[in-house]
Amino acid sequence: MGSLSLYRKSLFHISVLFLPCFIGVTYCLEFQGLPPLISPPLIPEILNFLDQRLALVYPIIQVFKNTITSDPFSITQTWVGPDICNYRGFYCTSPPDNNSAVALASIDFNGFQLSAPTLDGFIDQLPDLALFHANSNKFSGSISPKITKLPFLYELDISNNNFSGNFPMEIFRIPGLSFLDIRFNFFTGTVPPQVFSLRLDALFLNNNNFIQKLPDNLGSTTALYLTLANNKFVGPIPRSIVKASATLKEVLFLNNLLAGCLPYELGFLRELVLFDAGNNLLTGPLPCSLGCLAKLEQLNLAGNLLYGQVPEVLCALGKLENLSLSSNYFTKLGPKCWKLMKKGVLDIKKNCINGLPGQRSVLECKAFSMHPRYCPYPASFNLIPCKVPSSSSHPRIGPKRNLVTYSALSRHAVDFPE
């Protein structure tokens, strides 16, 4: 910023005298004594902006400021004067198309609790915007189709707000989008399958009211972090999930209505650290392919209809810190799983294992076994598509790592590791 020449600063000092007519017709009408179409705050006669790009967005910010109906932390009191880069929540840098310019590149309203009826006419009018994060506010309305004209936008976070209606289709036309977070809103209906074909690093859809079968192209996602928790997704986990084997690190399917058997293909997700499909209607035995998930630290399948023996190859995973299989119908544990249970890594309460305390009643287990369940490709459940280590150091001792997708289950902004 200090590298701007005195000539350039002087030029802006002079040019803003004419800024009202340069910015838009509304201001020219005001000076001509005619009633304006809208009533944004008038630009003072002299404002010394650091860059013309900042001068252009100044009236847009001021118009949006006037639409805010609640500001409990007095955030907008800092939105005064030409120093936009020091407004709370606004961040400037050089845009990709001009290294010598200074532009409004990022907005971070996380936790501000601002209320406004819409974001239309605001973020879609900020031509250099690359990141918009607005977790934990009270914004509503819809996403403007004009947002697709922002050439640099790649992160959009409108989580924990009051947006409603169908999935915002406008996001499909944002060319560089790599991060989408719309959790904790009131979206309904279905998630278009195209979402899983976007080149995203993170996709957070949890805690809405989506009702549908998981699409067959689920595995087309490039996301490292995928959360679909706390909706009403139904049906089986698609076998296509194997296509995400090179990228997918954390998956949250918990608290939906997923049914069917776990696909053998889960064992090919070689980057997987966390898989949580607790509290669904999944059934069948656990595929032995899960023993190939060498990086797996957290596996939660509690609260389903799973049965049979817990595979020893799963209990032998060297990085496993938490294996939650409670409230199912498992009937047998091998010696490695017994050791895991004694160390507090395996939770096997409320199953059907003889000789263990805290299990289901005999009558409950018998009633379950009276209704046979069928899984397709039954031979695949005994296949182990990898070389299983002969020994493992187990489990790892030390502080637990913060998992990204679990932080998405709170209403706060997602906590990404440094």
For residues 144 and 124, the answer to whether their CB atoms sit within 8 Å is: yes
Whether the pTM exceeds 0.75: the reply is yes
What confidence score (pLDDT) does residue 14 get? 29
What confidence score (pLDDT) does residue 416 get? 74
For residues 20 and 42, the answer to whether their CB atoms sit within 8 Å is: yes
Collect the ranges in the chain with pLDDT lower than 70: 1-45, 389-401, 418
What confidence score (pLDDT) does residue 41 get? 52
State both tokens at 306.
């799973």
- Kindly compute the dihedral angle of the four CA atoms of residues 163, 169, 173, 175, in this order, to the nearest 10 degrees: 50
What confidence score (pLDDT) does residue 235 get? 97
| 305-309: strand order across its sheet | 164-165, 186-189, 209-213, 232-235, 257-261, 281-284, 305-309, 329-332
What confidence score (pLDDT) does residue 400 get? 59
Task: Give the residue among 268, 264, 312 at the shortest CA–CA distance from 294.
Answer: 268
Amino acid letter for position 289: S
- Using one digit for the tens of pLDDT, what is the confidence trace for 216-249? 999 999 999 999 999 999 999 999 999 999 999 9
